[in-house]
Copies of this chain bind each other. A is one copy, B any other.
Amino acid sequence: MNKQEQIQATALRLFVADGFHGTPTAKIAAEAGVANGTLFYHYKTKEDLVVALYNRIKDEHADNLQAIISRDDFITTKFKNIFIHSVNWALNNRDKFYYIQQFNSSPHLAQVSAETLEQHTIGYAGFIAEGVKKKLLKQQPVGLIIAIFNGHVYGLYQYLTSAKFEPEEQEKIINEAYEMLWDTMKYM
């Protein structure tokens, strides 16, 4: 892990624990085991670091999804796989998932261009449009379907992290939540 990655990993941990505000750059540098000057050599400003971290996590998640989308499955199978994968990714990367929410609910979001944000959903849109066209999904705007899909993932995540569940129990809940989502989305 190079210095840039060390800095980002430490920043993620501290931002999630103490917030953007509660995390001085000096602390990030110290805990990452680099000097203050090194941090500012790689990231022009603190804001730069905050945004770079966001973009890296988003890219990582988008790449995961893209891998699923490109698989040669039925649209309905893709749909399910993406849901299951999204929930599991969130559960297995809580810091990253939390950081995304934190960033999305902060003025930092304005620093990210609309194009960059769109880039991150670009994989989605195509196959959902196809699902709508083929009348596998409800006849609703793609944007609405994606938004409600994400809302469902978010809601389920909140529930699963509100208490401790055994792995099998958790898997069962995820599958049931998927059936509920499918009731929302399926054409008839």
Contacts and interface: CB of A to CB of B under 8 A. Distances in A.
Interface stretch (A3-11, A31-39, A63-71, A152-160): A152-160
Copies in the complex: 2
Contacts of A102: 105-106
Interface of A is mostly: helix
Given A20-B21, A184-B184, A148 B143 contact: no
Contacts of A158: 147, 150-151
Contact of A177 (B148, B152, B180): B148
A107 B18 contact: yes
Given A22-B107, A98-B105, A155 B148 contact: yes
Contacts of A101: 101, 104-105
Contact of A140 (B106, B162, B176, B181): B176
A123 interface: no
Contact of A147 (B18, B143, B150, B162): B162
Contacts of A173: 144
A152 B159 CA distance: 13
A17 interface: yes
A61 interface: no
Contacts of A143: 159, 162-163
Interface in A141-188: 141, 143-144, 147-156, 158-159, 162-163, 173, 176-177, 180-181, 183-185
| A17, A22, A138, A155: most-surrounded residue (chain B CB, <10 A) | A155
Contacts of A177: 144, 148
A154 B151 CA distance: 6
B156 A151 contact: yes
A90 to B, nearest CB: 12
